[in-house]
Amino acid sequence: MTKKIFALLLLLPLAVAGQYKNSIRTNVAGAAIQIYSLQYERTLSPRWGFNNTIFYRPKSDIPFGGFIDEISKKHGVGLTGIKFDYIFMNEAQVGLKGYSPELRYYMGKNKKVFLGAFGIYEEFDMKVPAMVRILKNGQFLEVKLPVDFTFNTLSGGLLIGRSFQWNRFGLDIVFVGPHIGKAQEFYAEGNNPNLVGLNEEEREYVKGAIKQRFGLRDKYFSLEMENDRAEIKSVRSVPFVGLRGLGFNLSYRF
């Protein structure tokens, strides 16, 4: 269903191309946290517009890491299904790129407030340390693994905002944009020399400890170990909830 809505949003503007008026935007709030975006909207009618957004974040440390780590530990299970108690988002590096089509309706007499229905595709590339409990030579060890993982998401949602215009120039403020969908093609790999030389019993213990500690369900994830590497893959799409945060989009119309 999500893919059908996403495709419909992509095809919609082709039917009314002759009526377009144009505007381009960039989100200065996103740039403050190294998410760079470019938006292009075409007017379909006095109240309807079709907006396209591409965005990119180079893989780097995340601002407000301590706050994000705290939120993840409190609410991570509800949003992603993964427990974050032993995952350190304050030390994470995150890369991101994606695309979002949006059908926008301008409300009220002055058509300043808008409601948008959007789809969004995102690709994540991250490195996040995680604490893993292992059994080796009869001893229990707590080992911190740097985990590299990638995944992509496809979701849809609604947003609300307010537009201000000064001739050709303008400012769009997006207040909130929750979206739901699925995460897929999840792959994670962690390496540590303490994983080398484990016997079969110790390997099974470590696998069980990883699944229990991070809330990995066999329904969604597989886990394999070889030499110094632990490898996690998704076996099916995982439910995903996201939130487009506060946006300040400077615009120019032509």
pLDDT of residue 135: 92
pLDDT category at 1 given cuts 50, 70, 90 is low
Most confident of 14-28, 72-86, 200-214: 200-214
Residues 6+ apart with CB under 8 A from 168: 252, 253, 254
Which fold does the domain 2-253 belong to in CATH?
A: Porin (2.40.160)
User: Going by C-beta distance under 8 Å and a sequence separation of 6 or more, which residues neighbour residue 232?
Assistant: 149, 186, 187, 188, 189, 210, 216, 221, 222, 223
Instruction: Sketch the domain layout of the chain as residue ranges.
Output: 2-253
Instruction: Write down the pLDDT at residue 17.
Output: 42
Q: What is the pLDDT of residues 165-207, one digit of tens each?
A: 998 999 999 988 899 999 999 999 999 999 999 999 999 999 9
Residue in the structure block whose two tokens are 């695309």: 99
Least reliable range by pLDDT among 1-5, 89-93, 177-181, 242-246 = 1-5
pLDDT level of residue 2 (50, 70, 90 thresholds): low
Which residue is associated with the tokens 């959007």?
118
